[in-house]
Amino acid sequence: MQLFYAPDLQPPLHTLDEEESKHCIRVLRLGCGATIHLTDGRGNLYRAEITDANPRHCTVRIVETQSEFERMPYALTMGVAPTKNPERFEWFLEKATEVGVTEIVPLETVHSERRSFKPQRGEKVITAAMKQSLKAYRPTLHALTPLREIVAQPFAGRRMIAHCAPARTPGGKAYLADTLRRGEAVQILIGPEGDFSPEEIDFALAHGFEEITLGPQRLRTETAAVVATVMAATVNGPKRETE
């Protein structure tokens, strides 16, 4: 299945933008009558037939629509401090999109290695990963957000902060894979290479965050973020016969 992204699609006819048209006609060498699939990134998957094989403005006719195509049974918001090397953060964006994530919030923290974030490249990475993994839902990428700002914002679900410091609550840090529950909305914060500051951790805990661990190993920021994303997907995966 070849999947194309068309955020402004309105059936029954749609004209692909120049980049998508070129890929469809010149790269894939598809012609009139060929079938392709499109998504608006909001859960709709469209099956379409090419009616005009122009490499600059390919036109298709929608013949079938599936709504809420493979909708995730949970909601996951990942707040992650961008890495000094932008390629490492882009790797996280790609893998998180492939595995399953609802929203991504780049975090500005006390120990942040990057104090600026340009979303244009990240948006392209997310779009490409969505198409490659054949998803109909496109994650939302937010602007760089100060940690205290996202902590202070309301969130309808459980909120968790992963850190490497000793536990700061009587119950200690819960292992993420053990504390997650199927079908819930979760927000998880992952700090920079220098970790969150003690003050940031205390601020999050005072606002209802649960402190968590991803295991005994020390992980890079982008690795920790992917591990957390995979844990959420695994907990929410197909039920085993023993469950």
pLDDT digits 0-9 by tens, 151-203: 999 999 999 999 999 999 999 999 999 999 999 999 999 999 999 999 999 99
Closest CA to 161 of 199, 126, 119: 199
pLDDT digits 0-9 by tens, 95-109: 999 999 999 999 999
Report the alpha-carbon distance of residue 42 to residue 31 in Å, rounded.
27
**% pLDDT > 70, the chain:** 98
Which pTM value belongs to this model?
A: 0.92
R_g of the chain computed on alpha carbons:
20
Report the alpha-carbon distance of residue 139 to residue 123 in Å, rounded.
9
Q: Is the pLDDT of residue 240 over 90?
A: no
pLDDT digits 0-9 by tens, 196-237: 999 999 999 999 999 999 999 999 999 999 999 999 999 999
pLDDT for 116 = 84
Question: Which structure tokens are listed for 185?
Answer: 């909305």
pLDDT for 69 = 96
Q: Give strand ranges (E) for the chain.
A: 3-5, 13-15, 35-39, 45-52, 59-66, 75-80, 103-108, 140-141, 145-146, 158-162, 174-175, 185-190, 210-213
Exposure of 114 by Cβ count < 10 A (0-12 exposed, 13-18 middle, 19+ buried)?
middle
Report the alpha-carbon distance of residue 50 to residue 38 in Å, rounded.
12
pLDDT bracket for residue 2 (50, 70, 90): confident
Domains of the chain: 3-66 (2.40.240.20), 75-235 (3.40.1280.10)
CB atoms within 10 A of CB 101: 27
Angle at which helices 119-132 and 86-99 pack, to 10 degrees?
30
Report the alpha-carbon distance of residue 56 to residue 59 in Å, rounded.
10
Mean pLDDT of the chain: 95
Kindly state the average pLDDT of the residues 73-89: 96
